[in-house]
Structure 1
Amino acid sequence: MSDERRAWQMVLEHIEADLLSGALRPGDHLPSERALSIELGVGRSSVREAIRVLEVLGLIRTATGSGPTSGAIIVATPSGGMSALMRLQVAATGFAVSDIVKTRLVLETSVAADLAATEPRPDLTLATDLLDAMEPGEADATQLTINEFLALDTQFHLTLAEILGNQVIAATMAGLRSSVESYARVGASHLDSWADASARLMHEHRQIIAAIEAGDADRARTVVHAHISGYYAESHLTGQQLDQ
């Protein structure tokens, strides 16, 4: 194994360890390439290679430019191989948005209802932390880009499945992440007002959490169904085919 290969793998293992330990969480930005290069004693090319791998795995999203919204943002924590295999299948062929939406409706309404019916009530801190990251306070001048918001939005829905603990559902949703984000981004360009739409999405996210915390399974199922189908209808994506 070459020194260069060992170097980028060391960077990858370092970042994954921080993700697994909670030192880095969804919504956080990775340290800069320069900072990681100095900290780990490797070249910046090795850091870039590790970041590319993390992006392919769906753990981070990157944005170019300068300012608080640039760089690499954490959108997920490492999961099993099943979701990685499914991502490869998704990448190999496009899916109709309607099929993705129908799959989400089946899986995510069940997840929300099951969480609401669980006793004792599950700890939703990881999910609410994501909502807090998506909803900066009035004193915070940093606003998320549309892509950052939607990446965290997708992770919020996946996190609910992970909290439920059904590994098959969670892996399936993780495998569909890129497709879900893709249609959400396309849909955002069709909206009359992203500001109004994102505010409504946040309100609906909070309604989902409230229904689960109240133990109201029927309400949780209804709110999730309206949340997913409403965005699909509003963004006029009927018949859209996604090319991965």
Structure 2
Amino acid sequence: MTIEQQDTAATPSRAWRTVLEHIEARLIAGDLAPGDRLPGERALSTDLGVGRSSVREALRVLEAMGLIRTATGSGPNAGAIIIAMPGGAMSSLMRLQVAARGFPVRDIVRTRLTLEASVVGELADAAPARDLADADRLLDAMDDDDLTPAEFLALDAQFHLALAEASGNQVITATMAGLRGGIEAYALDGLARIADWASTRGRLRGEHRGVVDAIRATDAALARTRIHDHISGYYAEISLGD
């Protein structure tokens, strides 16, 4: 019986996971690092006792996760090579979960409260001061009274992401990018519950600038308080349940 037949006859739904677990173990052990090339399909198939189709499936999963890039042919760029680009894949996965309503809105809000309080606190404490030019541009863009509520809220979500990016924390930035769609969605869903959008818009503008002012004043405690009140205040105003 060939390896392919053994693979199919045994536990086909688990065979490709064997390859993933093997590569994960080698990464944790330090045997593999970004820039290293994975063994070829035939070698992995023989060493792990799985079919080459399972190896190919595992490689497709790893590529989709942003952990490898693959290229056909020969030469230094051919084969499967470990890369260090987890942020994009992590964000994509979270966006899909948000789009599928995989995360309750209340959990998104709680996560935002934790992450963004950390972000603004770090920004306020940073020495030298971090570049907030992108956040400033978004604040100015949100001052346009001709924006539709949807346009304003899209800029609002981008402003919060810009703060995360300014912090330099790649994990928080990737998480915030993944949650961005969910943030915009629950903000939009709650518009019908806002009696006076112009008043709410004005308050949000002031709260945004208040957060940035606290960061520039290097007052971490005030920045954390303001971002907490800003996020929880809008959520309370729209009273959106799950």
Point out where structure 2 has 5 or more consecutive residues left out of the alignment: 1-86
Structure with greater helix percent: 2
TM-score, normalization by structure 1: 0.62
> Per-residue deviation at 1:190?
0.3
Match of 1:152 in 2: 155
Cα distance in 2 for residues equivalent to 1:208 and 1:99: 22
Task: Choose which of 212, 227, 232 in structure 1 pairs with 2:235.
Answer: 232
Structure 1 distance, partners of 2:98, 2:166, is: 24
Deviation of 1:189 (Å): 1.4
The answer to whether residue 182 in structure 2 is matched with residue 182 in structure 1 is no
CA gap 1:236/1:109 in 2 versus in 1, 3 angstroms: same
The Cα offsets for residues 148-197 of structure 1, whole Å up to 9 and x where unpaired, read as 00000000000100010101101011101111101101112101100000
- The answer on 1:208 being equivalent to 2:216 is no
Partner of 2:141: 133
CA deviation after TM superposition for structure 1 residue 84, in Å: 1.4
C-alpha distance in 1, partners of 2:106/2:94?
Answer: 18
Aligned to 1:116, which of 96, 100, 124?
124
Q: Distance in 2 between matches of 1:97 and 1:89?
A: 12
Which AA in structure 1 matches 2:220?
A
Runs of 4+ in 1 over 6 A off after TM superposition: none
CA RMSD of aligned residues (A): 1.3
* 1:1-244 alignment runs, 5 A limit: 80-136=88-144, 143-237=146-240, 240-241=241-242
Q: Where do 5+ consecutive residues of structure 1 fail to align?
A: 1-78, 137-141
Matched residues, number: 156
* Percent of paired sites with the same residue: 58
In the alignment, the residues of structure 2 paired with residue 152 and residue 81 of structure 1 have an alpha-carbon distance, to the nearest angstrom, of 23
Contact 2:97 2:103 in 1 (8 A): no
**TM, length-normalised to structure 2:** 0.62
Higher relative contact order (CA 8 A, sep 6+): 1
